[in-house]
A and B are shown apart, each in its own frame.
Chain A
């Protein structure tokens, strides 16, 4: 557990920054700029993914009615504004693809992995700054290719974000050729970007921790990003391999997944979910870690059961590899195998429960400051609980027979990825915004945005449980053709209207985000009275982060420590007086 000191070439000198504009802001090797680049790109894709969902919701709420303003869409997508079934399938596919791969994953890993790791461990930058730059500039063409798919002949990929073969493997089955190929290519390139990033995060955490920053002094955000980076490094190559096989099936006439020549459709599912379930934890672990940082800060208490939290992150990271079959209970897989996947899946509830109870333990006896990041972080806990508990229904193999591929799973995954990940992302953005941009976001606008998002979010996704319990299949263009789904029309319209309100509410966030950049109150070094190393350097930190490498003396969440007068003890503060007098220190 030796801690290796980072290079200290800046030690004792003021940080001089004479880089050109392009090297500073475009082709930057500074982890903070790269983090912000990822932030802007993935927020843009979050908006795109949300907009696609709005078109889907319109069709589900008002099947066959022309979309307001849909006249601008081309004839091949929505003639007269009425969404076509093939376009609907592309919307389903691309909403999932953009949200998972281009919004939530880069928001968590690309943005906060980059921004937080060096700043929280006391390093001047990533271990491989140029590799880091390459990681971002590999993600950009991937994004461009993915958007380009909408403009090619035959339309965009329409086999679902899970790309199940044979539907995805032969253009004959969907009528989509170039779109599906661009989908594969884009994800292969994006995978490369993720792998480059993961190598960097792992190396940086292992090698560049400041003196005194032992493993068990790492904040949980860093622990979770570290374990996540290992998952990314191991999981992405599997997806890339599967995508290359799929691309070959589409273009070169191979038959990996096409049964006519001996291929195996289920092989795709095994490969996809062997990547896909670790991916689920890639999308939630960093959220858990960052929410932990914010909850400790908001509660003014050390994280309850820090070591349990670390071991829970590790066990989720490990168990995530042996549960993929729970996506395939109805796939024709051996039923005995399903039982073993059920048991491993059920076991993941245990570390998840440990984390939830420890967050509650952290709040217990606290002195809770309900600042905007804390509001989002508590919403994260409250919503993740719902997503976790609804997961138990699907884990139970017999109950899954009924709710598999219904809106129940749509509700579940959005409670984890929106209620969980996205609320934690809002917590993280609002918490670290002052550090990133040197200005505070508006607290009042932030609270309004939080309140409305929380209400509308639940109005959209909670009733989806009911849709699923009535047997409403997912990914269907027009539920009104089924008699047994007809009574659900009103509920579908309610969800659609709520979704529009939820989407509109995000304008408040955009105003706050962009407006505060220019007009926000100047942020101090440590506006949240936090203990982390990132708050000991100016907001925003200079290139190289610290003039002198910080030295770490304390555990990560020393809030309300009896050793100091104020209610936080920064990790780098050396206490020179014996702790005995601290409790009765004279007032100011």
Chain B
């Protein structure tokens, strides 16, 4: 029955910590508001149900009450907004991409993800570049930055375990970065309706230890060079 809970599944990137924390904060705040309002509603329905001989209390309102229930939500949402703005800047701000991030190119098309790796030299448009379909391999604990493009329609790179989602828009180059924290394999799904094969536009991201990643990269570029 754990799928009926309000907990998020475990995250595997540095974003997960910040986003999940914010999620739980909002969950607690909205949870309190939910309980207060719904319990109040049910309580009033029972307590003030029509009974013979009792007339309703005739009133048109109360300004103090109006001020209280205007101010409290206003302050609360502004605080949530400010906290969210800070986290957002760390993830998406113009200066947020770490300078040492490993570059990748992901080109989305109906209905596959083409991942181009810069090869061991870390530079694009050199002979050791290679492209793999529906496979993204990254080293653990290293920031990586993906330059996201699309062929014909809008797709969206969704990696739930990394708390990453970014639309790939034809005609635009969009940079999205993340840093994986746990080795393993995770699924990528297209999050934006992109046609009849949208549902099966699936890819896998593999997070390697650094040594394993270097070995894999070496192998792949050797294969690429020999082709």
Contact = CB atoms under 8 A, between A and B. Distances in A.
B200 A478 contact: yes
Contacts of B62: 304-305, 361
Chain A, interface SS category: helix
Nearest to B60: A302
A442 to B, nearest CB: 20
Contacts of A186: none
A491 B4 contact: yes
Interface stretch (B43-51, B100-108, B139-147): B43-51
A353 B195 CA distance: 39
Given A332-B169, A405-B165, A304 B61 contact: yes
B4 A466 contact: yes
B195 A173 contact: yes
Interface stretch (A14-22, A30-38, A205-213, A467-475): A467-475
A298 B165 CA distance: 46
Interface stretch (B34-42, B119-127, B214-222): B34-42
A201 to B, nearest CB: 27
B85 A397 contact: yes
A335 B94 contact: yes
A463 B60 CA distance: 39
Q: How large is the interface on B (under 10, 10 to 19, 20 to 34, 35 or more residues)?
A: 35 or more
Contact of B81 (A86, A173, A346, A490): A346
B14 interface: no
Interface residues of A, number: 104
Given A302-B58, A363-B44, A266 B169 contact: yes
B88 to A, nearest CB: 4
Contacts, number: 300
Interface stretch (A100-108, A113-121, A479-487, A537-545): A479-487
Contacts of A561: 58
Contact of A382 (B38, B49, B77, B165): B38
B134 interface: no
Interface stretch (A48-56, A367-375, A447-455): A367-375
A172 B62 CA distance: 61
B58 A562 contact: yes
Given A173-B110, A473-B158, A402 B199 contact: no
A469 B199 CA distance: 18
A359 to B, nearest CB: 8
A525 interface: no
B227 interface: no
Contact of A487 (B3, B40, B170): B3
B197 A85 contact: yes
Given A482-B202, A491-B3, A392 B48 contact: no
A292 to B, nearest CB: 13
Sort A-B residue pairs by CB-CB distance and give the 5 closest, nearest first.
Answer: A259-B171, A471-B160, A365-B57, A305-B61, A346-B77
Interface of A: 85-86, 89, 92, 158-160, 164, 166-167, 170, 172-175, 259-260, 263-266, 299-308, 330-332, 335-336, 338-339, 342-343, 346-347, 349-350, 353-354, 356-358, 360-361, 363-370, 378, 381-382, 385-386, 389-390, 392-393, 395-399, 401-402, 404-406, 463, 465-466, 469-471, 473, 475-479, 481-484, 487-488, 490-491, 555, 559-562, 567
30 contacts: A160-B193, A164-B153, A166-B153, A173-B152, A265-B170, A308-B70, A330-B191, A338-B88, A339-B85, A347-B74, A363-B44, A363-B45, A363-B48, A368-B49, A381-B41, A382-B37, A386-B34, A390-B30, A392-B30, A398-B84, A399-B84, A405-B156, A466-B4, A466-B5, A470-B160, A481-B202, A491-B3, A491-B4, A560-B55, A567-B55
